[in-house]
Each structure stands twice: as C-alpha cells, then as structure tokens.
Structure 1
Amino acid sequence: MQQEPYGEVFLINKPLEWTSFDVVKKVRNALRIKKVGHAGTLDPLATGLLIVCAGKMTKQIDTFMGQEKEYTGTFVIGATTDSFDLEQPIIPVADPSHITLEQVIAAVAELTGDILQIPPMHSAIKVDGKRVYESARKGVDVKMEPRPVTVSEFEITKFENPVVEFRIVCSKGTYIRSLARDLGEKLNVGAYMSSLCRTRIGNFKNSEAHELLALVEEIKARTNEIEPT
C-alpha cells in the first residue's frame, strides 16, 4: 500500500535572537527533508509564534500568512533608532517626562483602523529587486511607498513613562516597528520597539507552541523510526 505524501504543521515559540530561517533550518535538518518553510517572518529580536510547514503542508503557507496576527510588547518613548528596534543604536530625541497616558491613548487612536503605513528601511521588503535592509546597511536611501494595513486593536496595557506596554491585533504586512516610529512622531518625542512577542496567528496561539529545541529532539526520535516520504 502506497504511503500518503508527508505533510505537517509545527507551532514553534521562536527563541530570542534566532532568525526565522534559523528555525526552519533546524526543523528541516531534523526531518531530513528539503520542503520546509515558515508562514511569516519574525525579526531576530522578536519572540513568539512561528508557523513552520513541512512537506505537502507548505502549500498552506500563503493561507496562514494572510491570517490576522496578535502581538504584545513594549515601546520606549523619548528616543529612537534607525531600525525602530534594538538592532541599531539608541538615539535620544526629546525628554518624554511630560507625556501622559491620555496623550498616548489619543495618539494610539490615530494609529488604529485602516491606515497607511511606511515599512521600516531595515526590513526584508524588496524594492527594485533588492532587500531594503541591504540598501539601508550600505547607507543608500530607498523610497518606501505607504501601504494599506489594518490595526483592528491597539491597546495600551501599561504605561510607566517612558515604557509603553501594548497589545496589537493587525493584518498581514503590518510592521510593529513602524507603529513605534509613528507613535513617537505623534507624541513629538520619538519611540522605538524594545520587545515584541507574536501571541497569535489566526486561531493558532503561542500558548500552544512547542519550544524549538525540545521539538527538534522529538522529531529526531520520530524520524529514526519512520522516514517521511
């Protein structure tokens, strides 16, 4: 009897400082098959839910990528960076001590709903066939066009000046780092993203995700018994 083609979906809690490709490579090596991919990049300094598809389930990647995302994390106001996160050095902008919770909430309201967003220069988007982060690292300016995204929920969960804790629900293609930049501009004090965790993609939750290294050991043990086809 012929075996069905192998296919599987893994929910993984991406570790801090790992790239999304690092995670895919680890799973690919454990499975010992080439057809493995992820459904939506997380930056190295972000953690949380990464959906990894293997075998015939790689055909579902676009479907997963198109689903609604939820994030939690922290912004810091009063400073910025060239990447709007901690990948680049912190640049002081203005003293934020006068900023109130009410002002933050008012600024957030302007960044909620259907908005136009300019992606950060330090991103993997391609312009004229080149990744814009490659141009940014060479000091080359690239004109980034605003893109329509939907921020359906933007909740401030805690504010202890200068730290803003948040929960965001948004559409595919939304850059949380860009929301940090835009919040800082609206408050006239600058802002950057200091931490980020993706907590949900569609109905998949990070609370259901595997820790990467434990999952890899489980896969290795399994593939020693049955080879995927």
Structure 2
Amino acid sequence: MDGFLNIDKPGGMTSYDVIRFIKRTFRPRCKIGHTGTLDPLAEGVLIVCLGAATKLSQRVMDCEKEYVAKMVLGTETDTLDTDGKVVRQRQVSATPEEVRAAVLSFQGELSQVPPAVSALKHKGQPLYRHYRRGTVITPQPRTVFVREIEVMQICLPAVEFRVVCSRGTYVRALCRDIGEKLGCGAVQAALRRTRVGPFSVANSVSLEQLRTDGLTPHLLSVQAVFSLLGET
C-alpha cells in the first residue's frame, strides 16, 4: 500500500498517536510515517505517508504551513502554551490597536528561538525528553519566514490570528515573541493547522471517518501528490 493520507488530527493526541491508531486499526503491511510533528494541543492537517510515499515525505515537509492560532496575553509558561506550568504573569496594558500592530510586525524573515520543550533533537533525543529529566536546553535561533499574518479577532487578553509560514516555524514561539514585544508575555491557547502546501483541512479526513471508510477511499497516490506539488 503506497500513498498519502490527509488527516485532521484531533487535539489531545500526539502525531505518533495517529500513526499508532492507523497501525492498530488497519494493520497495513508497509512502512508508515508522517511529514511533520503537530503538538498534542494542536489539531488540524497531518499528512501521513504509507509505503513508497515515506521516501518522498521530505518534499511535503518542506511545504509552507498555514495555522489559525489563539494566544492569551499576560501569561507565560515553561512550554509556551496553556499545557505548561505558569512561570510569570503580567498586566496587559496594550490597546487593541497596539496588539494588532505588534502582530502584523512579525511578517517577513525572522530570527526565532524554538521552544525548549519541543520535538527538536539534542544528542539524538527530543528536547522534551531532556526537559522531563530536568535539563533545560535552549535551542539556537533559526531563520524562519512568515509570508502572511493577520489578526482575526481581539478580545483582550485573547487574540486570534492566522499565519502562513515556512517549515520550522513554531507558532508557540511566535506567540511568545509577540507577547515580549508588547511587554506582557503571551502563551498559545489553541492551534489549528489549516493547510500544509496544497493539502487543506477542508479536504482532510477525521480518524472516525477513516475507521468507517477504511484507508483506500482516502489514500492519495504518489503521482497525485506530485501533481498537487507541481512536479512529475
């Protein structure tokens, strides 16, 4: 079995939980993987590769991503999201206009420090494992690119925004940096990945629907995906 699945990952599951679900439910006799980790708190598009498609996952990983995020100003946590331990709280004095201007300033090429609790690896182990053992490792800054960013709703201290960004961009870190710019801190409260390259959440399948229909009706061939990516 070869091909790609556009899964709508629910919140509360890790990306590997989705792989585990497919393995246990369908027992496919082929290699299976995904094209980029989505945090447990997050939901939305997760592209799963089966068989020969796993050899082509890098091309999908390199695609730009689109997210809709909600952040809460005035709070900071160790994980940069609301799942973490609160480490600082500050008063929010910024006006909606100042918040909007701060969000929009994060467009273009940015230097971003990834979260210390993430799937990035250090000495062969994910950073979150080092953190759980009591070792905090601060990753080196990396260059990322935000092609589009727009504020969708402001109801202070909550702010909802949409962002289109390059591979390797952490929206949790983006929320942190916006909060720092406003002088009050911020945490990510919700995240939905709405697109990976040409794969939209509108065309994704839920795990329950997958359980009902089976894999085959939702499997995209390697050639079909290459066509979507503009390749042959």
Asked if the contact 1:31/1:219 (under 8 Å) is kept, the reply is no
Give the aligned residue type for 1:32.
P
Q: 2:193 aligns with which of 187, 193, 198?
A: 198
Change beyond 3 A, Cα 1:31–1:219:
farther
Shift of 1:25: 1.5
Name 1:72's counterpart in structure 2: 68
- What TM-score, normalized by structure 2, do the two folds share? 0.88
Which of 90, 93, 99 does residue 86 from structure 2 map onto?
Answer: 90
- 1:128-167 Cα distance to aligned partner (Å, 9 max, x none): 3222111222221323110010011111111011000000
Is the contact between residue 28 and residue 35 of structure 1 (CA under 8 Å) also seen in structure 2? Answer: no
Secondary structure at 1:210's aligned position in 2? coil
> In structure 2, the residue corresponding to 1:165 is in which secondary structure?
strand
1:54-102 per-position Cα deviation (integer Å, ceiling 9, x unaligned): 1111122111110010000200001111001122133442111x21122
- Provide the C-alpha distance between the structure 2 equivalents of 1:68 and 1:218, rounded to a whole number of angstroms: 29
Contact 1:99 1:161 in 2 (8 A): no
- Identical columns (%): 40
Q: Distance in 2 between matches of 1:44 and 1:50?
A: 12
CA distance in 2, matches of 1:10, 1:155: 29
**Residue 8 of structure 1: how far off its partner (Å):** 1.7
Aligned partners of 2:215 and 2:97: how far apart in 1? 52
Structure 1 match to 2:143: 148
Question: Which consecutive segments of 4 or more residues in structure 1 shift more than 3 A?
Answer: none
Equivalent position SS for 2:214: helix
Q: Alignment length, in residue pairs? A: 216
For the Cα contact (< 8 Å) 1:31–1:220, is it kept in 2? no
- 1:44 has 2:76 as partner: no
2:12 is aligned with 1:21: no
Q: Which runs of no fewer than 5 residues in structure 2 stay unpaired?
A: 218-232
1:52 to partner: Cα distance: 0.7
Q: Which has the larger radius of gyration?
A: 1
The one-letter code matched in structure 1 to 2:86 is I
Aligned to 1:164: 159
SS at match of 2:177: helix
